[in-house]
Amino acid sequence: MRWRPTTRAAAAGLVAVGVAGLLAATPAAAGRRPRHLAPLTGLPESAAAAHRPALTVKIDNTPNAHPLFGINDADVVYEEIVEGGITRLAAVFNSRLPGVIGPVRSVRRTDRLVVSPLGGVFAFSGGAAYALNSIATAPVQRFDEATAGPAMFRTALRMPPHNLLLDPTRLLAEARRASPPQPLFTYVASGHPARGAPVATFSVNFPAGYAVSYTWDGVHHDWTRSIFGAPERTAAGVAVAPTNVVVLQVNYIGGVGNIGAEADLMGHGTALVFSDGRLQRGGWFHTALRRPIALRAAGGRVIALRPGSTWVELEALGETVTATAPRR
């Protein structure tokens, strides 16, 4: 199976629902979540995490940065295209905090749109003036290498600039008190039947050699991730394997891979949601900067995810997603 992104106008036809109906059914407005469920995973929440704000960290994704530190403890990870067509990560931590996160890298314009529905704390190494001016408008507390104090440090185990690490517990202790994040997604209840067409593997065809692929693991009920032609593992040797993968096909304002480009996450577009070993096709809709992006299938049905971690792939219009069905 192979899909190409539609135009933004054509994507609107995927979901026959008005803006008023959409606003009434975004994750934040769809109902009050039980207090014992983590907002960004839908899993049982620990007492320690119940009042914790979201911590979004910009993480390097070049070959020299791998293996990454702490990425498997992120509730949500956004993969975005930056200059030269390479990708960089914005990893959101809330329900769990690893001992160390990194390598930490610089901010981009897209990050303002990613963190605005989350609030909380944003950690990065620094950035160009245009990117710093952009993130300054977001509702987050910002910490870079110059302001994080001992919570950010360089390790001799890596060559610069791929050696800046973050102690998240220490950083949050230095931050002002902030509210926990609102849910970004809707989650299915336990025992809910899987929806969509079965998928064994799929690839998100980012440019510049940064394509990623995922393989369904029916034993662990997650998607094993590969990048640069090999399965991805953390610095601790653990396979990177999110519960869900959401592909949002977006326009990059300023041109894909150009300096200063920004993923346009306002409006609507095509969404491919991989969950439970299946694919649901639909649309994404974002009507207000501080509200979550809504995911809907044809007819207006909300696309719900399995409780767990989620990677969000911000794929450029014109690129493809290639999937294979299970062998019979």
Q: How many residues does the chain have?
A: 328
Give me 217's structure tokens: 């693991």
The answer to whether the beta carbons of residues 53 and 119 sit under 8 Å apart is yes
Last residue of a domain, one of 174, 197, 214: 174
The answer to whether the beta carbons of residues 274 and 246 sit under 8 Å apart is yes
**pLDDT at residue 60, rounded to an integer:** 98
Total domain count for the chain?
A: 2
Mean pLDDT score across all residues of the chain: 90
Say if residue 193 is in the same domain as residue 309: yes
Give pLDDT tens digits for 72-83.
999 999 999 999
pTM above 0.85, yes or no: yes
Say if residue 19 is in the same domain as residue 61: no
pLDDT exceeds 90 at position 43: yes
Say if residue 213 is in the same domain as residue 301: yes
Give pLDDT tens digits for 122-134.
999 999 999 999 9
Give pLDDT tens digits for 195-206.
999 999 999 999
Domain residues for the domain of 162 are 47-174
Give me 238's structure tokens: 């653990």
Pairing of β 197-198 and β 278-286: antiparallel
Q: Please indicate, yes or no, if residue 157 is contained in any of the structural domains.
A: yes
Share of the chain above pLDDT 90, in %: 86
Last residue of a domain, one of 121, 147, 174: 174
- From 9-23, 168-182, 243-257, 296-310, the region with the lowest mean pLDDT: 9-23
Give pLDDT tens digits for 245-259.
999 999 999 999 999
The answer to whether the beta carbons of residues 276 and 265 sit under 8 Å apart is no
Q: Please indicate, yes or no, if residue 241 is contained in any of the structural domains.
A: yes
Say if residue 261 is in the same domain as residue 205: yes
Instruction: Give the integer Cα–Cα distance in Å for 132 and 266.
Output: 20
